[in-house]
Amino acid sequence: MRPDLDIIQQWIRPGYHVLDLGCGDGTLLDYLQRERGASGFGLEINPDHITTCMGRGVAVIEQNLDTQGLGNFDDGSFDVVLMTQALQAVRRPDKVLDEMLRVGREGIVTFPNFAHWRLRWGLALSGRMPESDALPYKWYNTPNIRLCTFKDFEALCRQKGIRITSRRVVDGQHQNSWLARLWPNLLGEIAIYRITRENEQ
């Protein structure tokens, strides 16, 4: 399993009702169903991914977050709403976060850090839009239209009164190195956040 998914699965309690926004080929949901007794749905728009999900028994709904939102899901109807590597690709990440925490008690979000030193370095040296393994596109064809840094994301959460209950920062190999822990916004490539609007218990 992709290492970020491996970290996420450890946070899912048995029997959780899960909504996975941009569920890809359903690897994570499939695992959660089998190993955690979780239930739930994945939303996806890529036809090949949808077919793969159906073939492996993952309940997948063809639904576009940008145009259709999450209006068809009731308040608090999921234990957790996941969004892995897709926040940077939606038109209004701020609204998606609001919606995630409306339909779910908790959210788990992962995205690439635009302030990683290699990207900063690339931009500083070449004066061109940076590319990396996590962001392998050209500026004109990238689906990643809302790139942000860890600091940006945390500022948005503060502004919205969203509580970050955990954060794991990993490098390109998804290793949780001590350096990345020390200077996450510079050395971390991908962050995995757990967020909620619920008060601390």
Binding interface with another protein (CB under 8 A):
17, 39, 41, 47, 50-63, 72-74, 77
Q: How far is the CB of 81 from another protein (least distance, A)?
A: 13
Q: How far is the CB of 162 from another protein (least distance, A)?
A: 24
Report the amino acid identity of residue 132. Answer: S
Q: How far is the CB of 39 from another protein (least distance, A)?
A: 7
Residues 94, 131, 184, 13, CA torsion sign? positive
Q: Which DSSP category does 88 fall into? A: G
Residue closer to another protein (CB basis): 4 or 25? 25
What span, in angstroms and rounded, lies between the C-alpha atoms of 186 and 201? 32
Q: How far is the CB of 38 from another protein (least distance, A)?
A: 12
Q: How far is the CB of 159 from another protein (least distance, A)?
A: 31
| Short-list 106, 83, 77, CA closest to 198 | 106
Residue closer to another protein (CB basis): 39 or 176? 39
Burial of 139 (0-12, 13-18, 19+ CB in 10 A): exposed
What span, in angstroms and rounded, lies between the C-alpha atoms of 40 and 79? 10
Residue closer to another protein (CB basis): 62 or 133? 62
Q: Are 18 and 9 in contact (CB under 8 A)?
A: no
The residue length of the chain stands at: 201
Residue closer to another protein (CB basis): 49 or 168? 49
Residue closer to another protein (CB basis): 73 or 193? 73
Six-digit token string for 105: 């008690």
